[in-house]
A and B are shown apart, each in its own frame.
Chain A
Amino acid sequence: QQQVKQSPQSLIVQKGGISIINCAYENTAFDYFPWYQQFPGKGPALLIAIRPDVSEKKEGRFTISFNKSAKQFSLHIMDSQPGDSATYFCAARGSTPLVFGKGTRLSVIA
């Protein structure tokens, strides 16, 4: 049973463009929503995370937008660079361990 639905599966963005990845959840007990970046053959690295008491959080080129009523959150990567090409996972947790989305493979082309 997938508790966090992530889309799109893959994404191609031009260098300098904005990459947008969306996630939706159903469990209202979730209260922590991180995004992880994973390069091939490496473990996931925490990018940015948000709690439901705020609607947006920005760290450098990465922004999380959170819509509590819609139970959706998204990652925006501004000024996307070829080095951002990786797989991105959204996740969520409440009292249970982190649950991951299926991942989005991002390719940033010059």
Chain B
Amino acid sequence: GAVVSQHPSWVICKSGTSVKIECRSLDFQATTMFWYRQFPKQSLMLMATSNEGSKATYEQGVEKDKFLINHASLTLSTLTVTSAHPEDSSFYICSARYSRSTDTQYFGPGTRLTVL
């Protein structure tokens, strides 16, 4: 199956700093990438959808100025959590799909963010 990687796998940062998380599709070109957030023992909540070369579409309630998403190439998307606060601590998971007509979404291993 297709492989999606994330880096870093975990990060600890101080309140007020910014953190960048990378998501890469290793063996396919992802026209669409998705960013999810998951709190302990809860389901995945979609934060935003990004298509290569265009602006991300954010879900209702997700602050686009706080969670900056860049999908600059067909294999790389980044999520930057700006001015992080303890309530931003969560498990962030990216997902990629290789074409709009394809159903299958492949998920990355996730990034555990802890904001002190």
Contact = CB atoms under 8 A, between A and B. Distances in A.
Nearest to B112: A41
Given A34-B103, A89-B43, A93-B103, A42 B109 contact: yes
Contacts of A89: 43-44
Most chain A CB inside 10 Å of its own CB: which residue of B34, B103, B109, B112: B103
B104 A97 contact: no
B103 A43 contact: no
Contacts of A44: 44, 93, 107
Given A41-B112, A97-B34, A46 B106 contact: yes
Given A49-B103, A97-B34, A43 B93 contact: yes
Contacts of B107: 36, 43-46
Contacts of B43: 89, 100-103
B39 to A, nearest CB: 12
Give 9 closest A-B pairs by Cβ, nearest first: A43-B107, A32-B103, A43-B110, A43-B109, A44-B107, A102-B43, A100-B43, A100-B44, A43-B93
A8 to B, nearest CB: 14
Interface in B69-116: 91, 93, 95, 103-110, 112
A43 B110 CA distance: 5
A103 B44 CA distance: 9
Nearest to B34: A97
Interface in A40-59: 41-46, 49, 51
Interface of A: 32, 34, 36, 41-46, 49, 51, 89, 93, 97-103, 105
15 contacts: A32-B103, A41-B91, A41-B110, A41-B112, A43-B6, A43-B110, A44-B44, A45-B107, A98-B46, A98-B95, A98-B105, A99-B46, A102-B42, A102-B43, A105-B41
A107 to B, nearest CB: 14
Given A46-B1, A103-B42, 4 more contacts: A34-B103, A41-B112, A97-B46, A98-B95
